[in-house]
Amino acid sequence: MNALNPRFPRPAILVVLKVLIVMGELLCLLGQWFVFVISTEIVSEIPETTPGLWPYRIAGALGIACLEVAFAAVWPLLTLAGRQDVFSGKAIHWVNLIIGSAIAEGILVLAVLVFSNLSLPYVKPNGQVVQAALGAPMLELMLVVALLLIAAFVLLMWVMRSLLMQAIGQRRELEGVI
């Protein structure tokens, strides 16, 4: 609660944030559909990438699902903030869910990074078997950067979670005194 304004956060801000969450969820659903469309296009243009079609599709859809879970976990946090009930302890579950989805995303990105360094056999239309490289240097660089950003986010959320737990403990101590 803001000492200068007891109605902080303002209800309008919470409504805007919830609208953005809904828009984010809808964009995630669209993104999951695009994963399938774009992967089909890539395989049609570069047939050697066929062995990676389904693993990359699954990883893309699951990665977006992790983001959807995190978005969904923010909604009840906003509701708690609107009721000024964040320090009751109910928020910890939702913060844990956000941290868990970020960790799952990190594991998924790491798995894609390892998979992108594999070379799997691909049979050309003429019957010749070649080893297909499934990654590219730019993809691998992007995955390493994504891993670093996810690790930073998880650590930041862990610190915020510990601050929330301290605030909950202090509130309980104050309630015991009062």
Residue 3 inside a domain? The answer is: no
Listed as own residue / partner, the contacts of 87-93 with beta carbons closer than 8 Å and 24 or more positions apart are 87/164, 87/167, 87/168, 87/171, 88/168, 89/168, 91/164, 92/161, 92/164, 92/165, 92/168
Q: Is residue 4 part of a domain?
A: no
Look over the chain and give the mean of its residue pLDDT values, rounded to a whole number.
Answer: 89
Q: Would you say residue 96 has pLDDT above 60? A: yes
**Token representation of residue 150:** 């996810």
**Most confident range, picked from 28-37, 49-58, 86-95, 124-133:** 28-37
Check whether 172 has a pLDDT greater than 90.
Answer: no
- In-domain check, residue 115: yes
Please report the pLDDT score of residue 7 as a whole number. 58
**What burial class does residue 173 get, using C-beta atoms within 10 Å of its C-beta: 0-12 exposed, 13-18 middle, 19+ buried?**
exposed
Domain membership flag for residue 97: yes
Asked if residue 2 is part of any domain, the answer here is no
Residue 177 domain-assigned? no
The string of pLDDT tens digits covering residues 32-84 is 999 999 999 999 998 888 888 999 999 999 999 999 999 999 999 999 998 88
Count of domains observed in the chain: 1
- φ, ψ (nearest 5 deg) of residue 118: -80, 155
**Which range in 17-21, 44-48, 122-126, 169-173 is most confidently predicted, on average pLDDT?**
17-21
Would 178 be classed as within a structural domain?
no
